[in-house]
Amino acid sequence: MKVEIQAHVRDTAARLGADVPYALKALAGRLADDPDLGLPSELPGVLTVTVDGDMFDNCPDLSVGYLREADRIDIRFLEALPSPEASTPAPDQEQPEPG
């Protein structure tokens, strides 16, 4: 199966980290072998798959959206997912009791 990556997706990959283009190519290879790897998204006809950034040196976790057609896959979007450390709220600091 042929996998096409849109030019703006390649540009986004280059901006997100040094190893993101490589991670995207690795995902394209996996999609060629298993085109139903992704899950349905909120967008009609678009499947999304996540890439674990820990598998690559300089790569955040990624969400990749693609269209699956009979003979090809068209990767349409790529975005970095928020890191779990950044989304974990800091523990509340103890407040002194009024007294």
Q: What is the pLDDT of residue 97?
A: 55
Q: What is the pLDDT of residues 31-64, one digit of tens each?
A: 999 999 999 998 888 999 999 999 988 899 999 9
Q: Which residue has the higher pLDDT, 63 or 87?
A: 63
Taken in order of first residue, the domains within the chain and their CATH numbers are 2-82 (3.30.2310.20)
Cα(72)–Cα(84) distance, integer angstroms:
33
Least confident of 10-19, 26-35, 42-51, 76-85: 76-85
Please say if the pLDDT value at position 91 is more than 60. Answer: no
Q: What is the pLDDT of residue 76?
A: 96
Q: Which residue has the higher pLDDT, 20 or 91?
A: 20
User: What percent of the chain has pLDDT above 70?
Assistant: 84
Please say if the pLDDT value at position 89 is more than 90. Answer: no
Query: Measuring CA to CA, how many Å separate 66 from each of 25, 49, 58, 83, 90?
Result: 14, 8, 23, 22, 35
